[in-house]
Amino acid sequence: MIMNTNLLSKYLVDSKYLSGIIYFEELYSTNAYSKKIYHELKDNTIVLTSYQTNGTGRFGRPWQTNRNENLTFSLIKDYGLRIDEIHLMNFYTSYILYLTLNETSKDCSEHDLYLKWPNDLLLNRKKIAGILLDVKDMNSDMKKFIIGIGLNVNQEIFPEDINSKATSMKNEFKCEFMIEMILINFIKLFNENLCLLNQGDILMKLWKSKSNVIGKKVKFKQLDDGREAEVVVMDIDNDGGLIVSDVSGKTCKFYSGEISILYDE
């Protein structure tokens, strides 16, 4: 089913939550497209597609989705944050996505839904959403954020290589979801909680309360050389950094890299 843009427009544009919706039945990447025409994109615009053909995560990693089954969009947000506060947009977005899932599925509490540093969403230990942000206009007070979100909604079959790591709402909650309603919920929650961006310490506290990583043994992978190490997560700092302790008890803080939780099984 293609996206019901009339419904989205009625709930999101008429009510002034969004200034516009740019919809493509098929598009290579909503973030890449937004970056290309970002001068023309007003604050609170979304670029939405039912089929992203060339979506990427960090540095070229493919984000594959089936046609019409998932939510893939970019939200354009102009917001005044200092450079040392920019990371808050990342924690804010993933926190709002967490709230959106909670609101959308009433039996969410019966499942393990957690935030994973820096901004992934895990449902029953599998990745259900990915977020990637591009930041423009770094030199001005008002930064332009291109917030790219991919949420697996109704996709049932995943490629073999990611099948054990990825899942969808349908696979876990055992029912079909209306993609438009999830987007409407997200945009509303995003707009209604914006004041959290000006209260970084509260936001970080809320975020940490929805994350299960503190105190856990994780595998930490450095992006630059692919080095992996087993570490214990001590805390997530208010500046967003991941504080870990290695086998010798030495602590250090990371801003790049990736963790995967090691479950005792």
Partner 1 sequence: MKVDLNYIKKLIKILDTSNISEFEIEEEGTRIKLAKPRPKVIANTAPVNFPVYNPQVMSESGSAVSAAEPVKSVIESAVTEKSEKIIEVKSPMVGTFYSAPSPDAEPYISVGSNVSSGTVLCIIEAMKLMNEIEAEVSGKIVKILAENAQPVEYNQPLFLIEKN
* Chain residues that interact with partner 1, rule: CB under 8 A: 56, 58-60, 83-84, 86-87, 89-90, 117-119, 131-139, 223-224, 240-241, 255-256
Between 39 and 250, name the residue whose CB sits nearer to partner 1. Answer: 39
Least distance CB 155 / partner 1 (angstroms):
22
Between 108 and 135, name the residue whose CB sits nearer to partner 1. Answer: 135
**What is the Cα–Cα distance from 157 to 143, expressed in whole angstroms?**
38
Between 2 and 255, name the residue whose CB sits nearer to partner 1. Answer: 255
Between 106 and 250, name the residue whose CB sits nearer to partner 1. Answer: 250
Least distance CB 20 / partner 1 (angstroms):
23
**What is the Cα–Cα distance from 144 to 156, expressed in whole angstroms?**
35
Which residue pairs from 154-161 have beta carbons closer than 8 angstroms and sit at least 24 positions apart in sequence? 154/69, 154/70, 154/179, 155/65, 155/66, 155/69, 155/70, 157/66, 159/64
Between 87 and 208, name the residue whose CB sits nearer to partner 1. Answer: 87
Place of tokens 């996505």: 97
Going from the C-alpha of 221 to that of each of 10, 231, 254, 257, the distances in angstroms are 44, 10, 10, 6
Least distance CB 200 / partner 1 (angstroms):
13
**Amino acid in position 247:** V
**What is the Cα–Cα distance from 239 to 86, expressed in whole angstroms?**
9
Q: Which two tokens stand for residue 109?
A: 């509490």
Least distance CB 63 / partner 1 (angstroms):
12
Least distance CB 129 / partner 1 (angstroms):
12
The per-type count for the chain, helices as H runs and strands as E runs, is: 6, 12
Residue 264: CB atoms within 10 A of its CB come to 4
Between 18 and 131, name the residue whose CB sits nearer to partner 1. Answer: 131
DSSP per position, 30-90? HHHHHHHTGGGPPTTEEEEES-BSS-BSGGG-B----TTTSEEEEEEEEEE--GGGTHHHH
Least distance CB 86 / partner 1 (angstroms):
6
Between 20 and 241, name the residue whose CB sits nearer to partner 1. Answer: 241
Least distance CB 216 / partner 1 (angstroms):
18
Residues near 36 by Cβ (< 8 Å), separated by ≥ 6? Answer: none
